[in-house]
Each structure stands twice: as structure tokens, then as C-alpha cells.
Copies of this chain bind each other. A is one copy, B any other.
Amino acid sequence: MRYVYSFDHKHRRPPMEHKDLLGGKGANLAEMSSVLKLPVPPGFTVTTDACRAYMESGWPSDIDDEIARHVAELEATMGRSLGDANDPLLVSVRSGARISMPGMMDTVLNLGLNDKSVKGLAKVTGSKRFAYDSYRRFIAMYANVVMGADADAFEARLADARSATGAATDADIPADALVSLCTDYKKLAKEQTGKAFPQDPYKQLRGAIEAVFASWNGARAVAYRVRENIEHTLGTAVNVQTMVFGNRDERSGTGVGFTRNASTGENKPYGDFLVNAQGEDVVAGIRNTQNLDDMKEVFPEVYDELLDIFVRLERHYTDMCDTEFTIEQGKLWMLQTRIGKRTGVAALKMAVDMTKGTGKGADRWKITREEALQRVTADHLDAVLHPQFDTSGEVVATGLGASPGAAVGAVYFNADDAADAADRGEEVILVRNETSPEDVHGMMVAEGILTVRGGLVSHAAVVARGWGTPAVVGAEAIKIDGKQFTVGSVTVREGDVISLDGSTGEVVVGAMHTADAEPPEEFEILLGWADKVRKGKLAVRANADSGDDAANARRLGAEGIGLCRTEHMFLAPDRLPVVRRMILADTEEEEAAALDELRTVQQADFEEVLEAMDGLPVTIRLLDPPLHEFLPSVEELKIKQASGGLSDQERRELAAAEAWSEHNPMLGTRGVRLGVIKPGLYAMQVRALLDAAAALRKRKKHPIVEIMIPLTVTREELALARSWVQTEVDSALKGMKNKPDITIGTMIETPRAAVRADEIAEAADFFSFGTNDLTQLTFGFSRDDVESRMMPAYLDQGLLKRNPFDTIDQTGVGDLVRLGVERGRSTKKKLKMGVCGEHGGDPESIDLFYRAGLDYVSCSPYRVPIARLSAAQAVIRNR
């Protein structure tokens, strides 16, 4: 196996297609060297194969010869030798994985310096100071990175040298002092590591390469990969490259440049540079950088050359590129390029702009609309959809980002106080240990919601997402104590202002400034293209529970509602007492009266939703959660009983709450099971729905109603539930002209339903995969319980590659989805199928759903644009 390639090696395919082997940086260096013939300091890449071999069984035995051969070539090309006493070759050794992991792995610069070659460097540069400054930097870096010495000790000696010589900055330390500092450093390295600093440049090289390999499994790098979902087995390549010096003199410099503006997307080069400096000085921000435009004055020729290179890079990569360059004594060297990262706004603008064409004559290039669609990510869209903080503040706690967007307001600790403050015109953040239906009136008026406990499907999270209210849940560092909370040493009292970021889960004390969400015009253009691509292939609906949500979803491009959770209609403060009356009813008459009252209000709710989605399908899920969710907590009532006593009403509520309480409510009497135990409930809901549809038909509207039975496990169960619905439908539509369009289907959200989809399909007009519950049951993970404690440990240790609640588990849950589709369609070839779990808004999951053959995905209204884009990308990707 070959482990080393020089940058100008003639690969059979363009090197940029060999990122797996050469890493991103190495591939792009080779692309610039061998294809574009740009001025790149010569060098070679040690491949990721070598790194993987190293991780498997240590330093590969045959690699030394290969490296030596490439060093010899490099020396021949440059006419300089490693360690030479007259004009030494110096190299940098840098990591470069397939996926960029900025700052996570180790780098060694100025390699090749030793007691002999430092003199050669002094000679050719005419600067002893420069040579020994480079040497002392190299020794410190090498001792730390390769030999494992403590960097602080070297910093301390440097500080000593500064004070001993009265130097204000490192640059003021005289050359002789640097010479003795080098001697000092070598001793220190020996003291700290027990080994001598190696004078042999070949030993230095091997040490540096090995250190980079080893840094792949360093704690920082591993943590980064976990966070970014990068596979641990990839390994890194190592790039060994001739050093050039931007800090040689005033004719030298270094900079970073973007071929377009990465912030705004404007088609104008953009960047920073520094005269007489090295790359790290730009990054470190020690000196104030100059704008790239200023280079026109400082280095006019180099500036023209650079801009010409920018044009060639863009044309070659057909995208905006990000570059690092160095000017050594008037000569421009390109050190790195890659496709540039960009903001959401910029990504949208660039994608659309590039379809219009750039450059002149033979240099003109453009991308297709489909390519443009692939240039934009979900994060890009997300960034332009939600208000974001545009300043940063001190984060005092981080919870789970449960509902995106930024919120600022005065904290209140219960729903009543929050509602009162909102009445007074305050902007309010509701802070609770966790929320329950009793808090809903406070949640409704809040700008943001913060809870101490609970996961991404906790009451607070689900309700907040439904309303598009920013929310952070499970911020466990926060301790609520009456009308204040503490977190570490910080205390926040009622009325104090905090800021929440519902995307990142960050909580900041004080008011942060938020930028309003105002998507740029390219947003609609791109989504229009996306819709054309996915038309007839994968539809996008929204999960919405109210007329407002539905209208909002429609505005964002939803082609219907995939999930309308009727229970949310039960939680409004005016409904809850009626729901409780229904549960507490002693007689059938009382129960019927309460159901009748609910029917009237539900009918109004349904009318709003159906009207907002007029002419588009609306899937209404019959009541799903266990009834005890509508009752007060057993624990609280029992505590009250023990401490003071209960009113008659509370005593009845306690009895009911105890009767309906369950050890594992997720696996208890919910969904269609509730229907079996209390069939009047479903009949009431269906009647309300049909009355709503009929009322709309009278107003010449076109409601399309899909009635959905939740949590089915057997065909018989669905057939029974279907018969209740059908009875109501038959009686309601009897003799009606212009009947509304009504179908009856089920959720596929238990593993059994997926496995027995063939039987269940016999009683269903459609399927909707509920991948939240399906994931919970397939893994045996209660989202509420595992998300805060277990999931972080599992992701950290690589036991799970992804949080399966964010991105569908492709091989486990995904297998069951595929099985469900296949078996369902074996019974009814044209069975309509969709997904309404939160995965419906996740790009990778959408790809799986498209491949599995679903007809639509449904997600929260704010994810609809992302789903539209992802659906189009899935169609393109799987052509």
C-alpha cells in the first residue's frame, strides 16, 4: 500500500475527489498544485490510510523509506536540504482530515531547524534574530506537541527573557537573548520529558507526523467529532510542506481571503491580511489586520495575482472559496483553499447568484438550479427563519434547545404571575421546574419558556414548538427557590430580564439584542425551485394544532397538515375544567354533558384549522395521551392532603388521578386504547370534526379530512376504531349534498404495527409513521428520561452515532419503517403513507423517508421550508 503522495502527483481522478485518502487540505493542495498550477509551496501528503494503519498497529514499517524518498524529491525541487548549515529546507507538518476540524489537532512549524541549520537560516535571511526566534518557537512547539512537555513552562521562560532584557514584546527581545533562550528551551525539554530535543531533522519529521496521527484520538478531537457526528475511524492525513515566511520583511505578509463575502454573499472578494507576519498572527488577532482591499495599495501586483487566482478558483470549484496565502519577499504562495463556510443569508444569495453566471467570456461559469439547491443546508435556512441573537453574552446555563428562536423577557415563576405581568405589558419569560396543563395560560403569554427538568418531548417542549415559542428545557443547573432562581453564584429574581436561545439551549442573564427573521428574497426563489424538483415525489405537510398554526404553516409552504393533535385543544384554560368534568363524571349523563360541551368547542377549533388549510388534506389525530395528563399531579395533591387537607373537588380529582395514574404512561392506556376504554370520547371528536367539515361545505369550502387513529397494534383494534368513526361518518353525512372528503387511517408507531403492517393496512386508508414513539419503543428509550442523563453519555462514548430522536436510526428504526411500507403496500399497492414524527423536519431522515417510498413528510411549521429543501435534495441525491 502506498502511503505518501507529493502535491503534484498526477492522480488518475482530480485530487479533490480523493479527500478520503488525502484529507481535505491535502486534496485541495494537490488540486491547486497539479491541476490549477497555482503557486503552492511544494510538499507531500501522508495519507489517512497511514493514520488508520497507525491506529491499528502502530507506525507502519514500510513508511519511513517512502517519506525519505519524498523528502529527497522535495530537497531536489527546492535546492535546499533539511538541516543544512547554509540554506536549510524548513517544513510545516499539519493535520488534514477529510472533514475540517479546525484547531482540534496538532501542527508543527519550522521543522528542520537544529543547532546547525539555524545558523544557515540566519545566513540566508541575514537575520540572526529571525532565525533564533523561529528556532525557539519550533523547540517549544515540538517539545509540547511531540514530546509532551508542558507549554506553560516555555511561556514562563519567554516571560523571564522579556523582563531580563527589558523587552516590551517578544519582538523586542534581542537576538543574543534568543540564542540563549534556545539553549534554555532544549534543557527544559529534556528536564520535562527525560528525552533530548532531537537534532536529526528526519527524527523530528517522524516525531511530528506520529504526533499528528496521535492527536486524532486526543480528547479535544474526539469530543469535537462526537459533537459534529464525524466518524472516529476516518483518521487524518498529514501534510508536510515547505515553509514560506510572511514574517521575513516588509515585502512579506500573510492573509486569509474569501472569493466572495461569506457574511452577506455579495460577489466581491473579502479578507484580511498583515504585513510582515505569520499566519498564526492573523488568527490570534494580536495585531489589527488590514482589509484585503488595502492590499491594492501595499502589494499591487500581488493583489492582482491573488484576485486572478480567486477567479480561477471559483471557476474551478464553481463555488466560493476560502484561502490562506503568504507573501514572501514579494512572491505570493497559496497555502490552502477549500469551499468556504458561509452564513445562511450568504448561502442563499450565492446559490441563486451563481445560477445567473459569473465571470466574462471563456471564464464565464454558472451552476444549475439543482446544484444551487444542493449548496444550501438546513442550518442555512434555519438561520434566516428564526430571530437570532446578534450579540453574545455570558451563558449562565445551557439546557436543551427545545423550540428555536431568541427570546428576551422578565422572568416569572408561575403562570398567574406571568399572565399578570403580560397584562401589564411586560415581555415575559416563564421559568418552571417543569410545565403541566395548568401552566398553559402562562405559557401562552410568554416570549420564551425555560424549564429545569424535562426533555425534548416534555410538555413545555411540545407546546412551545407547536406555538413557535422559543423554549429551553432541562436546564438542570438552575435551582428554583420560590420567586428566584440561582445558577452557580448568580441569582435571578422575579422581574429580572434574561435571554434564551431556543436553538442552542443557552440562557443569558440580561437582555441580548435579537435580529428579526426576515428571509432574503432568494429564500422564496430557492424554495420555489425545490418545490418543482420534489413535486409529485415527496410532499411536505406541517404538524399544526390551531387555525393560526395552520395558517402559518401554509404561508411557509405546507401542502396540508400531517398531524393535528387534538389533545392540545383540550389544554386551553377554558377547556381543561370541562375535560376534568368529563373524567370525573359519576354518571353517564354527566359524562355526556361534558363531552357535549367539548364537542362544541372542538368543532370551532376544527373549523379554524380546516378553513386555514382549505382544499388541502388535514390529518386529525384522535385523542392520544393518557387521561391523567389532564388531571392535577397525584404527588402534589397528596402532599397538600398531608399538610392541610383537600377540598371536596380536590379529593375527587385525587381519586381520579390515582385511578388513571400509570407506572409507565408511555406504554399505558393511551391512543386507541383510550378509545376502547372510553369510546364516547372518539365519537365526540369525530362528530365535532364532521360538523366542522359540514359547516365549511355550506360556506363552499373544500375540507379534506383524514381521521387518524393513534397507537394501533392489531388489525382488529383498528377495525373496531374504524367502525366507530364510520358509524359517525355515515350518520353525519346521510343525505348531505357536497359531502366533505373523508378518509380513515392510522399511525404506525409501535414496532408491532410496522411488523404487521400488511394486516393493519386492511383497515386503513392511509398510514402515518409516528417515528418519535417508534424510536422510543424500538430502542426502549423514554425520551423524557434518557435525553438529559443517558444520551450525552451514549454520544460521548460513541455507543450511538446520533441522537436517534434528532436523526432517524437508519438501520434499526429505519428498517422497521421500510418493513412497514413494504408490508403495507403488499396489501394496498397505493396506500398513502407519510411521517409525522419530528424526524419529518430532519434532512437525513427525510432522505430515508424518500427512499423508503413515503408520499409525504410532516413537521413543525417552522421546519416546513427546511423539509421542502431537504425533500428536493433527497430527490436529486437518489436519482
Bound CA–CA A815/B662 (angstroms): 29
What string of 1s and 0s marks CB contacts (under 8 Å) between A773-802 and chain B? 100111111101110011001100111100
Q: A665 at the A/B interface (Cβ < 8 Å)?
A: yes
A799 lies within 8 A of B751 (CB): no
What string of 1s and 0s marks CB contacts (under 8 Å) between A645-687 and chain B? 0000000000000000011111111000100110000000000
Scan residues 798-822 of chain A and give those whose CB is less than 8 A from a CB of chain B: 798-800, 809, 811-813, 815-816
Say yes or no: A786-B667 contact (C-beta < 8 A), given A777-B780, A799-B714: yes
- Partner of A755 from the list B635, B716, B815 (CB cut-off 8 Å) is B815
B773 lies within 8 A of A750 (CB): no
Bound CA–CA A809/B713 (angstroms): 11
- Chain B residues, Cβ within 8 Å of A785: 662-665, 667-669
Give A719 Cβ to nearest chain B Cβ, in Å. 9
- Nearest-neighbor residue (CB-CB) of A813 within chain B: B752
Bound CA–CA A115/B248 (angstroms): 132
Bound CA–CA A782/B626 (angstroms): 13
Q: A230 at the A/B interface (Cβ < 8 Å)?
A: no
The stretch that binds B, out of A88-96, A609-617, A636-644, is: A636-644
> How many residues belonging to A are interface residues under a CB distance threshold of 8 Å?
57
- Chain B residues, Cβ within 8 Å of A813: 752
Q: A173 at the A/B interface (Cβ < 8 Å)?
A: no
Q: A533 at the A/B interface (Cβ < 8 Å)?
A: no
B642 lies within 8 A of A786 (CB): no
Q: A441 at the A/B interface (Cβ < 8 Å)?
A: no
Q: A756 at the A/B interface (Cβ < 8 Å)?
A: yes
Bound CA–CA A756/B776 (angstroms): 16
Bound CA–CA A794/B643 (angstroms): 41
Bound CA–CA A812/B790 (angstroms): 29
Bound CA–CA A512/B667 (angstroms): 39
- Chain B residues, Cβ within 8 Å of A752: 778-780, 809, 812-813
Q: A395 at the A/B interface (Cβ < 8 Å)?
A: no
What DSSP secondary structure best describes chain A's contact surface? helix
Q: A711 at the A/B interface (Cβ < 8 Å)?
A: yes
B790 lies within 8 A of A669 (CB): yes
- Nearest-neighbor residue (CB-CB) of A815 within chain B: B755
Scan residues 716-751 of chain A and give those whose CB is less than 8 A from a CB of chain B: 716-717, 720, 749-751
B669 lies within 8 A of A667 (CB): no
- Nearest-neighbor residue (CB-CB) of A812 within chain B: B752
Interface centre among A711, A749, A779, A780 (most CB of B within 10 A): A780
B782 lies within 8 A of A663 (CB): yes
Give A157 Cβ to nearest chain B Cβ, in Å. 37
Say yes or no: A673-B790 contact (C-beta < 8 A), given A755-B815, A778-B777, A784-B663: yes
- Chain B residues, Cβ within 8 Å of A639: 638-639, 641-642
- Chain B residues, Cβ within 8 Å of A780: 666-667, 711, 713, 749-750, 752, 773, 777
- Nearest-neighbor residue (CB-CB) of A664 within chain B: B782
Bound CA–CA A786/B669 (angstroms): 7
What string of 1s and 0s marks CB contacts (under 8 Å) between A269-287 and chain B? 0000000000000000000
- Chain B residues, Cβ within 8 Å of A779: 713, 750, 752
Q: A383 at the A/B interface (Cβ < 8 Å)?
A: no
Q: A696 at the A/B interface (Cβ < 8 Å)?
A: no
Bound CA–CA A343/B873 (angstroms): 69
Q: A634 at the A/B interface (Cβ < 8 Å)?
A: yes
What string of 1s and 0s marks CB contacts (under 8 Å) between A594-616 and chain B? 00000000000000000000000
- Chain B residues, Cβ within 8 Å of A809: 752
Say yes or no: A799-B664 contact (C-beta < 8 A), given A642-B639, A752-B813, A780-B777: no
Bound CA–CA A778/B755 (angstroms): 9
Scan residues 136-168 of chain A and give those whose CB is less than 8 A from a CB of chain B: none
- Chain B residues, Cβ within 8 Å of A640: 642
Bound CA–CA A641/B751 (angstroms): 42
A716 lies within 8 A of B778 (CB): no
Between-chain CB contacts (< 8 Å), 10 pairs: A642-B643, A664-B785, A666-B780, A667-B785, A752-B778, A752-B809, A755-B778, A756-B815, A759-B811, A773-B780
Closest 3 CB pairs of A and B: A667-B782, A664-B782, A668-B785
Interface residues of A (CB under 8 A from B): 634-635, 638-643, 662-669, 673, 676-677, 711, 713-714, 716-717, 720, 749-752, 755-756, 759, 773, 776-782, 784-786, 789-790, 793-794, 797-800, 809, 811-813, 815-816
